[in-house]
Structure 1
Amino acid sequence: MKRRALLGLALVPGLLAACSTGEGATPAPGDGDLPAPVAIAAVTIVSHPSLDLIYEGVKEGLADAGYVEGENLDIRLENPQGDQSTLANIANTFANGDEDLYVAIATPPAQALAQVITDKPIVFASVTDPVAAGLVDSMEEPGGNVTGTSDQIPADAQLEVLREIVPDLATLGIVYTSAEVNAEVQARGMQEAAEAAGIDVEVATVINSSEVQQAAESLDVDAYWVGNDNAVVSAIESIVQVAEANGRFLFTSDADSVARGAGASYATDYKAQGVQTARMITRILDGAAPADVPVEIQESLELTINPEAAERMGFTLPESVVEKAARTV
């Protein structure tokens, strides 16, 4: 039996108890019986490590709350690999399904689900600006059936670290996906921060990951910056190749790109964001209405560096940056 999470209505405590103490239920470690069975369908936009970590974190956080996959949790993940028509088909399939709650990892999946599902909860993760994306009325009062976690990272904080690494930074290159609202918002924020600091900015937009290398090669800059842009991050090796060939530093907004060859990042802990998202999911499964659950910003930011990658780009990371790094690849 699947539990129905009715929007705007709290579940009756007695009914919860009756559903969760049925015959054969497996006790949660140190916390009595498992919660009532629930079905969740999730969708991401493309495969890359940061988004994969969010999904892992969601499942881990749900397990911590007593939702055990294969016992009282039925959860599945769909991935359109960046194809918008496939994403729309997935969203329509979800809309005709009988899951209790939906999880959207990144902005395009959240928008696709919100367009076709209005009667069940949608919880998003890794959405930079859910207001600009049209997902919620405000961060404090979402106002509908959608809420979740944001991966906003202050542009000026990232730029400060980048200027420590490249002190004579005069021109900054930004490659972003024009079709993603979150990517556009981040790019605009970084462009404004850089120009306020007297740095010239060159921008190249792409439609999909196959265009990333050509876009990077079109920019004559001192360094590149890449935000939490799903299509660009999925092809980050293309920019790494251009940066190494031309002696330009590559700074990113996700730590996994550093492991893949970027020089440094000031980034969200995506596994932690997944766990945080799971806590929001649990609140909603326990009866909270998404309209009343404020959007949360994942606040733990960490500096990750890759000294060897920096050397291949022609840069030596200063000791001040090395000392601040939470992780060295």
Structure 2
Amino acid sequence: MIHRRAFLIGLVTALTGIRASVSAEQRPARQVPRIALLSPSRESAQNVARMEVEAGLRQLGWKPGENVIVDGRTGAIDRLPELAAELVRLKVDMILASSEALPAARAATATIPILMTFCIDDPVEAGYVMSLGHPGTNITGIFLQAPEAGGKRLEFLRAAIPNLRRVAVVSWRGRNSAKQIDAVETAGGSLGVRVQVVEMNDRSTYDSAFGTMGKEGVKAALVLASAVSFTERPRIIELAARHRIALAAPFREYAEAGALIGYGANIRELWRERVPLYVDRILRGARPADMPVEQPTKFELVLNLKTAKTLGLSIPPSLLARANDVIQ
């Protein structure tokens, strides 16, 4: 009797263990959220951005590689729709789309949260969000364009070239440039500088546009903020150098590539400090539709003295003193 009772107890225990094991196998494992960057930038540049995001997430208590995964896709602009569709098939939890990648990301999904990193063209005019204060869609993030910054760039150009009387404003057709041009023209009126708008259509017009500027004796040009100009900055800077045109442009990256002046938000700082805050909030349940689009309020001035020397310019001490960084 004792042996039979011990056998039954053992059998019940074994069956209970088997049932618990099966239940554990059937229970879905907690999914680690996956964030994907999407951009046409070089893989090395995207890796820098990814590392900045991961660093910012660590400060917010996340453990990248353990309880959140951050990876990405890069490719030529014409491949972005394909890459965005791939991310949707992989069921990523969030897409961090560059300004150039936003059209592809938006076309690929209306449900997966999309974070603008960063939008250079006006997101309301582009149809990405209903308003900056209340996006109303699956898209939110950071809008880099600050029209008044164009006026400051002209001010810095005027300080670098005291006898400047005319400046070319390089814009791209269909890139929502009106507000930026208005700001530059207002500043030009105050500074006594005539503003000449040069509109680009596509890459085939770059050579002729800069060639015409060179023949007309244009000594300085101001590049408006747009996704296209940021992508095309190596070519733009090359042409400006060929025709000995001093260039003022929206971000540090232009000055690092050879423009005389870069003035705008610090992109790397935004990756580390602002983007992780959006990611954190969305992963914890916030809806992009209810999260206001941010616009930077902090800007940095970067001067390239190597370019200044090549152009025969002597940057005045008063302008050097205002620079956040100087490239020798």
TM-score by length of 2: 0.78
Structure-2 separation of matches of 1:36 and 1:88? 26
**Alignment partner, residue 218 of structure 1:** 212
Q: 1:54 to 1:172 in 2, by over 3 A?
A: farther
Q: Which residue of 1 aligns with 2:125?
A: 132
Distance 1:67 1:214 in 2: 51
**When the two structures are aligned, how many residues end up with a matched partner?**
286
- 1:309 to partner: Cα distance: 0.7
Which of 279, 282, 302 is matched with 1:284 structurally? 282
Identity %: 25
- Inter-CA distance 328–172: structure 2 relative to 1 (3 Å threshold): same
Which secondary structure state, in structure 2, belongs to the residue aligned with residue 67 of structure 1?
coil
Q: Identify the residue that residue 72 of structure 1 maps to in structure 2.
A: 67
The within-5 A match list for 1:118-267 is 118-128=110-120, 129-153=122-146, 154=148, 155-178=150-173, 184-185=175-176, 187-196=177-186, 197-198=188-189, 199-208=194-203, 212-219=206-213, 220=216, 221-267=218-264
Q: CA deviation at 1:231?
A: 4.1
CA distance in 1, matches of 2:109, 2:52: 24
Q: 2:39 aligns to what?
A: 44
Tell me, in whole angstroms, the C-alpha distance in 1 between the residues paired with 2:47 and 2:318.
31
* 1-structure distance, mates of 2:306, 2:44: 21
With a CA cutoff of 8 Å and minimum separation of 6, indicate the structure with the bigger relative contact order. 1
Q: Distance in 1 between matches of 2:196 and 2:48?
A: 31
Q: Are 1:293 and 2:291 counterparts?
A: yes
Between Structure 1 and Structure 2, which shows a larger proportion of helix residues? 2
Q: CA shift at 1:270, angstroms?
A: 0.4
**Compared CA separation, residues 116 and 244, structure 1 to 2 (3 A):** closer
1:205 partner amino acid? M
Quick check: 2:35–2:93 contact (8 Å CA) kept in 1? yes
Residue segments in structure 1 that go unaligned for 5+ positions in a row: 1-34
Q: Distance in 2 between matches of 1:148 and 1:100?
A: 15
- Structure 1 partner of 2:24: none
SS of the residue 2:35 aligns to: strand
- Deviation per residue, 1:2-24 (Å, 9 max, x gap): xxxxxxxxxxxxxxxxxxxxxxx
Q: Write out per-residue CA displacement over residues 296-323 of structure 1, whole angstroms, 9 at most, x where no aligned residue.
A: 1122201111112112123221221101
SS of residue paired to 1:325: coil
| Aligned equivalent of 1:269 | 266
Contact residue 42 and residue 103 of structure 1 kept, 8 A: yes
- State how far apart, in whole Å, the 2-side matches of 1:191 and 1:49 are: 33
- Cα–Cα, structure 1 residues 231 and 81, in superposed 2: closer, same or farther, change >3 Å? farther
User: Secondary structure of 1:90's match?
Assistant: helix
CA separation of 1:300/1:73 partners in 2, compared to 1, >3 Å: closer, same or farther?
same
Q: Which runs of 5+ in 2 are unaligned?
A: 1-29
Matched residue type, 1:104 = A
Match of 2:84, as an amino acid? A
Contact 1:125 1:149 survives alignment (8 Å): yes
Q: Any idea what the Cα deviations from partners look like across 1:73-121, whole Å, max 9, x if unmatched?
A: 22221122232xx111122222322111111122x31222122311221
- Distance in 2 between residues matched to 1:277 and 1:100, nearest whole Å: 15
Root-mean-square deviation over aligned CA pairs: 2.6
Q: Which amino acid aligns with 2:210?
A: A
Contact 1:124/1:149, CA 8 A, preserved across alignment: yes
What amino acid is the match of 2:109? I
Shift of 1:136: 0.8
Residues 218 and 51 of structure 1, relative CA distance in 2, 3 Å threshold? farther
CA distance in 1 between partners of 2:48 and 2:69 (Å): 19
TM-score normalised according to structure 1 size: 0.78
Q: Measure how far apart 1:122 and its partner are.
A: 1.1
Once the two structures are TM-superposed, the CA of residue 201 in structure 1 deviates from its matched residue by 1.3
Question: Does the 8 Å CA contact 1:304/1:325 hold for their aligned counterparts?
Answer: yes
Question: Could you give the per-residue CA deviations for residues 44-94 of structure 1, whole angstroms, max 9, x where no partner exists?
Answer: 1333998775444323222322333322222221122232xx111122222
Is 2:96 the partner of 1:103? yes
Equivalent-residue separation in structure 2 for 1:117 and 1:73 (angstroms): 21
Letter of the structure 2 residue corresponding to residue 118 of structure 1: A
Larger Rg: 2
